[in-house]
Amino acid sequence: MKKIPVLEIFGPTIQGEGMVIGQKTMFVRTGGCDYRCSWCDSAFTWDGSQKAAVMDAASIVEKLYEKGTNLFSHVTISGGNPAIHPGIHSLIEELRNQGIQTAVETQGSIWAEWMIDIDEVTISPKPPSSLMKTDWEKLDYYINRLERRPNKAFSLKIVIFNKEDLEYAAEVHTRYPNAPMFLQVGNDDLTEKEAGMLRDHLLERYEWLISETMDDARWNDVKILPQLHTLLWGNKQGV
């Protein structure tokens, strides 16, 4: 079995963002990313500050049951960029065999064939504020493969920090008009320790994003969301 570097396995908790917001789920967070977003809120997955456990699919599943016991039927794989790990294929297979739903998030820069088997795929291309460059051909390929899957869901989710990011998101939305589109308020204060302060600030930013999009016909068919876990628990890891 191919090994996977794992930073965290936790839950059950709620999925705080995106297409299945509110869903009860376990999280498996993999290490390593081909990007270096300026505002990455999971930099510990690639900056060397935390050490990954290198695990095979069977031991990840074992750990999921150890932590989650019988209290879950949904697993979310996040990163880093999970797409860089071919070993996830066996993990998905094992989970499916046990009747567990799966979700994943990736920026869409590297295709992984196991994406096809995931129930809910979130593609989150990174806007200009991240300082990353989108490879449009790779993204075209992703969307093309994902939209042909019967009985499975996918969506685009773009984190927005400023007006330039919104213009980028509009470009993505125009390019893939049939892909369900989510805009998410960026967390621009990753060092705030006080959940209450962060909460008020992020709800202000959320209000800004709502007012920008309500006044713009390009955003008539969009969902605008905050990160619920950040409103609840601030910048805390592993919740």
Which residues participate in the annotated binding site for [4Fe-4S] cluster? 33, 37, 40
Nearer to a second copy, 138 or 199 (CB): 199
Could you tell which of a second copy, ligand SF4, none binds residue 228, using a CB distance below 5 to 8 A set by kind? a second copy
Strands 223-225 and 181-185: parallel
Binding test (CB under 8 A) with a second copy, winner from 37, 110, 153, 224: 224
Q: Report how far residue 144's alpha carbon sits from residue 79's, in angstroms, rounded to the nearest whole number.
A: 23
Could you tell which of ligand SF4, a second copy, none binds residue 153, using a CB distance below 5 to 8 A set by kind? none
How many Cβ atoms sit within 10 Å of the Cβ of residue 112?
A: 19
Nearer to a second copy, 3 or 24 (CB): 24
How many Cβ atoms sit within 10 Å of the Cβ of residue 96?
A: 14
Q: Does 186 bind a second copy (CB under 8 A)?
A: no
Q: Does 37 bind a second copy (CB under 8 A)?
A: no
Closest listed residue to residue 132, CA positions, set 1, 21, 32, 40: 40
Q: What angle do CA 160, 202, 28 make, to 5 degrees?
A: 70
* Secondary structure class of 140 (helix, strand, coil): helix
The tally of CA atoms less than 13 A away on the side-chain side of residue 40 is: 21
Nearer to ligand SF4, 102 or 187 (CB): 187
Q: Report how far residue 76's alpha carbon sits from residue 121's, in angstroms, rounded to the nearest whole number.
A: 10
Q: Does 226 bind a second copy (CB under 8 A)?
A: yes
Span from 7-15, 28-36, 51-59, 126-134 in contact with a second copy (CB under 8 A): 7-15
Binding site for a second copy (CB under 8 A): 11-14, 20-24, 70-74, 101, 182, 196, 199-200, 203, 206-207, 210, 213-217, 219-226, 228, 231-232
